[in-house]
Amino acid sequence: MEATSSLATERGAIKDSMRWFHDQGLTRLNTRNVKTYGKIAGKSVAKLAGEVGVSRPKLYQDEALITDKEIRDRLVPLVIISDLAFELFEGDETKTIHWVMAPNHLFFGHSPFEMALAGKAKSVEDTLREWLGR
């Protein structure tokens, strides 16, 4: 968990506004919300599980225990991106979810969600911080 804490500190405070996780330690993924967001993006549970890096059966549970450091290290930037977007859209959860899950020409047709899970979150974070004047 230390690595996640240092990653969180390095990138800024994590609020988890979109409730990607059930716990402060970022170990229990909120699978209900992940599936809801996936549905908005038109992704099957199998595709979503592959992108998130968890088994498909885990996504059918209410929460999934994340023990793999690599998965957690890709999910932390997703939380940060979501928090920045939530701030940009002035707390409008619907707009935030749609932006995070929608393909975006700024990211070569990939969604911010896909960028984060592919380990390419920096350009999304930088774009959001620029838009927020940081």
pLDDT in tens, 40-57: 999 999 999 999 999 999
Q: What are the beta bridge partners of residue 30? A: 63
Instruction: Classify residue 53 by burial, with Cβ atoms within 10 Å: 0-12, 13-18, 19+.
Output: middle
Bridge partners (DSSP) listed for residue 29: 21, 64
- Say how many domains are in the chain: 1
Domain that holds residue 45: 2-131
Residue 44: predicted pLDDT: 95
- Taking residues 17-46, what's their average pLDDT? 92
Distances from the Cα of 38 to the Cα of 43, 69, 112, 113, angstroms: 5, 22, 13, 10
pLDDT of residue 13: 61
Model pLDDT, residue 12: 54
Q: What is the pLDDT of residue 132?
A: 95
* DSSP, res 64: E
Bridge partners (DSSP) of residue 110 are 104
Contact 56, 103 (CB under 8 A): no
Buried b / exposed e over 109-133, threshold 16 CB at 10 Å, is ebbbbbbbbeebbeebbebbeeeee
Q: What is the pTM of this model?
A: 0.85
Task: Specify whether the CB–CB gap between 23 and 105 falls below 8 A.
Answer: no
In this prediction, residue 14 carries a pLDDT of 78
Interatomic CA distance for residues 24 and 14, integer angstroms: 9
pLDDT at 2 over 50: no
Share of the chain above pLDDT 70, in %: 90
- Find all residues with CB under 8 Å of 9, minimum gap 6, and list them: none
The pLDDT of residue 103 is above 50 = yes
